[in-house]
Amino acid sequence: MSRDGERLIELVNELGSRVSHLLTDMVPPAAQVHLLNAQRELITALMLIYEHRVTNASPGRTRRAAPGARRTTQRRRTPARTGKIPIE
């Protein structure tokens, strides 16, 4: 991993620890666990996106739409929820 990637990880971890420290007095312990798990998943997703962009980036591989081309949007149906999500 590049030095920039390491610095990004350090920055995200520092921000996360500061926010969690601020919220400890206001948020119940069960919700803190839920938020920490969500934070971990978000950091993982951001790092995967960063690594993907860094490893697949090359100067000649920029993609541009043809002049006059239209973007099509596809609508997906979201599945109906069966109930509340339990929080541990």
pLDDT at 9: 79
How far apart CA 84 and CA 13 sit, in angstroms, is 30
Kindly provide the residue ranges of all beta strands, DSSP E only, lying in the chain, ordered along the sequence.
none
At 83, give phi and psi (nearest 5°). 170, -170
How far apart CA 23 and CA 20 sit, in angstroms, is 5
**Residue tagged 């007095």 (tokens):** 25
The token duo for 10 is: 């350090």
pTM of the complete model: 0.45
What length does the chain have? 88
pLDDT at 26: 83
Q: What is the pLDDT of residues 50-81, one digit of tens each?
A: 888 888 876 555 555 556 666 666 667 766 76
